[in-house]
């Protein structure tokens, strides 16, 4: 079984509310987290919402990091989606726990793009570009057939209990 991507879902609770409400702090933390994880940053987009809350994405060559903060609940949701073997998503996760002062955190890792084959699946195999052009696209004549609706499973995010260890707080520059 092979997977193309790794996806860490971080739930950060009891964070430093001021940090979560600061565009500069959140942005700097996410960019630095990406760098520490050995990611290649392609684009950085952050927005502050009215009356509060920050949303931001660091697009990386290896996929993306995203964050949404709810300072009013001292909560932040972070996603670290990566592919390839170089990136260290857990390094980014640990750094963000620290920078945002999360007293409680859970991390769930999902594998994305699972294929049931045993052979390795190189990220960008040579010769695949030509193969793409040759992939036959099945044209099925459809007469207003409704789109197949995939049933959605409602699974609560698995909570990994984390001991309430005080986390080292490093002051964020800027």
Q: Look up 15 and say whether it is catalytic.
A: no
Q: How far is the CB of 131 from its own copies (least distance, A)?
A: 7
Q: How far apart are CA 37 and CA 39, in angstroms?
A: 6
Positions in 22-41 near its own copies (CB under 8 A): none
Q: How far is the CB of 27 from its own copies (least distance, A)?
A: 13
Among 11, 26, 30, 34, binds its own copies (CB under 8 A): 11
Q: How far is the CB of 174 from its own copies (least distance, A)?
A: 17
Query: How many residues interact with its own copies (rule CB under 8 A)?
Result: 97
| Phi and psi torsions of 25, nearest 5° | -65, -45
DSSP state, residue 71: G
Asked if 145 is part of the footprint of its own copies (rule: CB under 8 A), the reply reads: yes
The DSSP secondary structure of 38-83, one letter per residue, reads: T--EEEEEEEE-SSS-EEEEEEETTEEEEEEEEGGGTEEEEEEEEE
Positions in 86-125 near its own copies (CB under 8 A): 90, 93-95, 97-98, 101, 103, 105-115, 121, 123-125
Asked if 174 is part of the footprint of its own copies (rule: CB under 8 A), the reply reads: no
Q: How far is the CB of 89 from its own copies (least distance, A)?
A: 9
Q: Look up 63 and say whether it is catalytic.
A: yes
Choose, from 55, 68, 103, 106, the residue flagged as catalytic.
Answer: 68
DSSP state, residue 32: H
Q: How far is CA 121 from CA 5, 40, 132, 160, in A?
A: 11, 21, 15, 30
Tokens 């996603």 label which residue?
79
- The residues carrying an active-site annotation are 63, 68, 83
């Amino acid at each position: 079984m092979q997977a193309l991507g790794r996806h860490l879902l971080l739930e950060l609770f009891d964070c430093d509310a001021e940090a979560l409400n600061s565009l500069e702090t959140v942005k700097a933390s996410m960019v630095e987290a990406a760098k520490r994880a050995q990611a290649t940053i392609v684009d950085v987009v952050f927005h502050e919402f009215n009356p509060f809350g920050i949303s931001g994405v660091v697009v990386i060559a290896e996929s993306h990091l995203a964050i949404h903060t709810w300072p009013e609940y001292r909560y932040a949701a972070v996603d670290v989606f990566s592919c390839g073997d170089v990136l260290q998503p857990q390094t980014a996760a640990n750094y963000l726990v620290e920078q945002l002062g999360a007293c409680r955190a859970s991390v769930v890792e999902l594998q994305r793009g699972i294929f049931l084959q045993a052979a390795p699946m190189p990220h960008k195999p040579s010769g695949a570009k030509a193969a793409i052009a040759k992939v036959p696209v099945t044209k099925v004549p459809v007469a207003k057939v409704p789109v197949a609706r995939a049933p959605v499973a409602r699974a609560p995010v698995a909570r990994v209990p984390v001991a309430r260890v005080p986390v080292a707080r490093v002051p964020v520059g800027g």
